[in-house]
Chain A
Amino acid sequence: MDEQLAIDVRGMTKRFGGLLAVNHVDLSVRAGEVCGVLGPNGSGKTTFIRMLCGLLRADGGSGQCLGHDVIRESEAIKRQVGYMTQRFSFWEDLTIAENLDFVARMYALENRRRAVTESLERLGLAGRRNQLAGQLSGGWKQRLALAACLIHHPRLLLLDEPTAGVDPKARRDFWEEIHHLAGEGLTFLIATHYMDEAERCHRLAFISGGNLLARGTSAEVVEQAHLTTWSVSGPDLPELGEQLRRLPAVRQAASFGATLHVSGDDPRALEQAIAPFRQPPHQWRLIEPGLEDVFIHLMERPAAPPPPA
């Protein structure tokens, strides 16, 4: 077992009745890394994270999390993991300070009061310590949740769509905080479907329909996709996109602001296919595909077997 890996699991599988929510997902995350789990809604991100911290019993899979067996030693894992649920899950009828105090007691922290005070100050919650959690806005709720996840000094943080419903400024602050903590050696596994957030992760794992479709750094994921992308600008782009999508060589044609990104797997076939359209008033330009192009590409692709490691 590699000591440097905070998470190292193979073949993680979870069924809900007939539904295969997570299908043989392998993942390894190095200590101190920020790993993003990307995927559309219902792709199995939450289910995967819940299996890691023992909230769901896996139907298959093995490996370790922080050096503990991921299937059998969930008690020990829970103690060193901070899990931030997708939905705000603190007690709305307790104040910020009471929530933190409760969590601190649950982890049987020594010097509980100091831990609570420090955590309040660190995340700028001290001024609102006596406010009921239920009355907080999205950004403050998320801060409280993060503070509570951190109070027992975990080695790994599992954050499930932590910035949903949070304004852009609070989101940026939040990511600053995450990178700051990662610099201190904390490992992060963050589920998200925001592209800008994906770009901020050291490594990415992309799942769709329970299958792991791509993983690696942002650049690696883009490269693995072997996508050729053209950017088109000009008038009547939606109409053009409609026509292009009917061509077999065109895998996708998606609007990006004032341009249309046209992508395909085979560069030559794509070039031939678009040749009749390359005339004024449209300007065509071959570009490096971005993460978002790949994201859309993977999402629209029919379920494929997981790629080799």
Chain B
Amino acid sequence: MKTWRAFSPARFWAMIYKEFIQMRRDRMTFGLMIGVPLIQLILFGFAINSDPKHLPAAVLMADNGPQARTLLHAISNSAYFDVVRQLKTEEEGHAVLARGEVQFVINIPRNFSRDLLRGDRPAVLVEADATDPGATGNALGALPVIFNNALQNDLKGPLAFLSGTAGPIDLRVHALYNPEAITQYNIVPALMGVVLTMTMVAITALAITRERESGTMENLLSMPTRPIEVMVGKIIPYILVGYIQMSLVLAAAYAIFHVPIVGSLPLLFTVSLVFIAANLAVGITFSTVAQNQRQAMQMPVFFFLPSILLSGFMFPFRGMPLWCQWIGETLPLTHFLRIVRGILLKGNGLAEVTAELWQIALFAAVALLIAVKRYRQTLD
């Protein structure tokens, strides 16, 4: 009796094997698993976040000195900015920004040339419409370089010291409407987490609810199976699918979007296992609640939506109100995004990611516990 209750590797393998066959025959779901990452890549990668250039800009010239003109020329000549308008007043500048006619207003202050040559580091204020931060981020990033290069010729000889470390100009960027700029490098790696959250939860929720709705669960329960065998047996094949999705996004990130991969890929794949498991556990928990397949399709939205909105994928995490951040902190995607960005872009190692990793692990453990507790050995 006791030994009978034990976990059986044979039954466990039987579940996995069966799941693989069914997955192979279910073209629609299989298409979904490959199609979703592709569609998201195209939408988020190309449509939204190609490196935008030739952004409309307005300039408020309060100084007419030679250096101010040099600066204006440099801005006009750079690929990022198209100076479409010269402004007379600050109010005018705010108006065109608010209407969305220009993306930037560049204020060159009174006595700019004089102050520059004096070494007073005149302040140049750049106001950016950052509602779509992806649109402004690269342009803003390029500004200091554009300015320094432009003034290089004027700051020679005795003035050379001005182009030192602090730069000749005090560049003040004022990103309106959105405090933190997300760049493309941020989004494509993060897509990995979003795609996994979207498909892993929905697919496991469906896989188990389908067994119940089609009556095969009754059959499964009438056989000597343990809940853990059924669940883990169902999870494993989808972990593999998760890795395929990850590889797909990573390959695209590297080949198409030229996202630098600074850190270790093996590390990324290893820690992702915890994240994938967390999502699968959520899917299983949903499946124990859902009455039918329709509900199993709908419930993941309740998980997916907060994940995508509050994790720092859609909005900069630090820009959100505190209560949103608290919710965000509980979601696995939030921590996974930090891990992915950390490893890929900053070259973080295991030491730096463990703090985030254990929070995902905790979430996974709790979700799996609820799932196992809720999974019914009987039909009532």
Contacts and interface: CB of A to CB of B under 8 A. Distances in A.
Contact of B214 (A76, A92, A105): A92
Contact of B18 (A16, A88, A91): A91
B18 A57 contact: no
A73 B1 CA distance: 9
B166 interface: no
B221 A55 contact: yes
A78 B18 contact: no
Contact of B215 (A56, A79, A89, A93): A89
A78 B26 contact: no
Interface in B66-120: none
A255 B184 CA distance: 80
Interface string B343-362: 00000000000000000000
A105 B12 CA distance: 9
A275 interface: no
Interface residues of A, number: 31
Contact of A75 (B4, B26, B380): B4
B8 A57 contact: no
Contact of A94 (B22, B222, B379, B380): B22
What is the interface of chain A mostly: helix, strand, loop, or mixed? loop
Given A75-B224, A91-B216, A106-B223, A54 B378 contact: yes
Interface string A137-151: 000000000000000
Given A76-B4, A78-B222, A91-B216, A55 B11 contact: no
B17 interface: yes
A108 interface: yes
Given A89-B215, A94-B18, A55 B222 contact: yes
Interface string A83-126: 10101111111100010001101111000000000000000000
A89 B378 contact: no
Contacts of A78: 222-224
A13 to B, nearest CB: 13
Given A55-B218, A89-B218, A108-B8, A75 B1 contact: yes
Contacts of B8: 108
A76 B379 CA distance: 18
A53 interface: yes
Contacts of A171: none
Given A78-B223, A79-B224, A89 B380 contact: no
A50 interface: yes
Nearest to A57: B378
Contact of A108 (B11, B25, B379): B11
B14 A94 contact: no
Nearest to A50: B379
A53 B216 CA distance: 16
Nearest to A59: B380
B17 to A, nearest CB: 7
Contacts of B218: 55, 85, 89
Q: Which residue, B4, B219, B379, has most C-beta atoms of chain A within 10 A?
A: B219
Q: Which residue, B5, B8, B218, has most C-beta atoms of chain A within 10 A?
A: B218
Interface string B1-33: 100110010110110011001100110000000
A298 B60 CA distance: 98
B14 A89 contact: no
A106 B11 contact: yes
B163 interface: no
Contacts of A87: 215
B295 interface: no
A89 B219 CA distance: 6
A54 B215 CA distance: 16
Contacts of B224: 75, 78-79, 106-107
A56 B380 contact: yes
A41 B223 CA distance: 26
Given A87-B215, A91-B216, A94-B22, A56 B4 contact: no
Contact of A91 (B4, B10, B22): B22
Contacts of B26: 93
Contacts of A91: 18, 22, 216
Contact of A93 (B4, B25, B378): B25
Contacts of A108: 8, 10-11
The 3 closest A-B pairs by CB, nearest first: A105-B14, A89-B219, A89-B215
7 contacts: A55-B379, A57-B380, A85-B222, A89-B219, A90-B219, A94-B22, A106-B223
Interface of B: 1, 4-5, 8, 10-11, 13-14, 17-18, 21-22, 25-26, 214-216, 218-225, 378-380
Given A94-B21, A102-B14, 13 more contacts: A16-B380, A50-B379, A55-B218, A55-B379, A56-B380, A78-B223, A81-B222, A85-B215, A89-B218, A89-B219, A103-B223, A106-B14, A108-B8
Interface of A: 16, 50, 53-57, 73, 75-76, 78-79, 81, 83, 85, 87-94, 98, 102-103, 105-108, 132
